[in-house]
Structure 1
């Protein structure tokens, strides 16, 4: 009986399929590699790479779910945040897309793709409705408040993983005793009642059913994080609230079900079989012997600064880099926190709009 291929062998075959633009075969092979890898540290990279294959296939819900899992397994993987941002933007989940892009930018401040992606997301995200008030109306007696037009006190967002839906309520500095969270079979209730302030309630009928006993939440310094255990693991929710649309079968479940009984055959690449272990060893040796310069040296320099910085320095670096279109990097939050940072290209160079 033939020995089953290892996770590394399956990953190599998936790469060959991806290079040959056979993204469906690449996704299926990555699924097998993920199953073979189990809880290995390499699983995060496999999820991130399968997300890229799904993006190429136009399956953005599966891509967003895979990228979220990759980021959860390895929060320091910038490309996982990048791919989640791309997929969520395509799904018009602009809040989740921007959060992912900001997380990636914090990890790789010298990577201009994040700043440009954030600008693209902000340009596409719907703007709040503005109502024009005539001078006569402005001087008239105040009308009763229209509760239907009131803006929610806190913003909320969500993302999928294989077994959970994670809901985030961006309530900063709220004490745990003022927060109440309840779970039902297809219901969620989040209440924030701070004395002297307007109460906040989030009570959606959920897109799918959950297992209340396995759900949990945490009140953190900047947010309330709620983890909903899916009653049907392996499905992706395209929205938090019920819409009547069918649930999407997540990537791992669909690809595993489609696999033939004997497993997928070794992918026949037109470029010939590559010895990826040898290539990887050569690359690592070259990287070790090479002296970094130019962008590579700058990127490592910025990453070292960021990894050793406190929260204010990181906020300053992220804000200055994004707002200046990658031309200014400051570590002084007191200097940049209260003002907009204009682009400042080096002397002798012109600022040009990014083209994708």
Structure 2
């Protein structure tokens, strides 16, 4: 303390010293190199919306939505494992942007990916959801075209197809069958993808023409050229209507060994193809047996026994095999 200072001088001196100390504190305290900010312990948010896209047989591209951080995201860690549902993830890249192209992969192989963010303090976010993609095949060779395509009408509603199998450098996995309606049509549409060299096309319309062509496909999705086109027509609707029964049957003895039959022809919705003549011996007999199948409305029964009675009946048949009811029975004696 300075000597000779009065009370007033002492107060002024102390005030000046206080001001000086405050100035020193303000200057050195605010600019001191020993000051340490509080540590950043807050992790970034997890990346989301991870998308994996197959680019080729050896490359898959990744993209995701950026993470957020209280200070700032400095980059990402991309992890990968092989196979869908795998769990043996390992880091493969540390991009500082929200995309990554993974190259040098194996063809026809599935890879799963997940991503997390990091900040300057080394805080790691939780992982994004996992996304899986499969590389394409390195096979670019198409199968040979199916050969010897045939189309056979099996019924009024079905056509059966068959062809010679295609070949491929790796292996044919199936076929694509296309159809359009009518001979010479061009508006083909795929109707089936069988794995064998045959296909039965059902649910078709009776008496209708259909055209077909077939091509092969392999595991890499390579498609062959088309087979030759074949056309066939479904059968008509099945005829289930029988002819009418023959009428006016007559039996006339022509000799001791022959009886001549005639009748009025039957009618049919499609057409009568013939008749079935049955005979038994005696008036009132019932043990009829077929003896002839004429295609006209007359028949001469020969080789009979003299002075013997014979009974006859006739029914008609059409192309579908439908049989009419029998005519009335007639009896005569040689």
TM-score, with structure 1 as normaliser: 0.14
Q: Which has the higher strand share?
A: 2
TM-score, with structure 2 as normaliser: 0.15
- Indicate the structure whose relative CO is greater, using CA pairs within 8 Å and at least 6 residues apart: 1
Rg larger in 1 or in 2? 2
Q: Which has the higher helix share?
A: 1
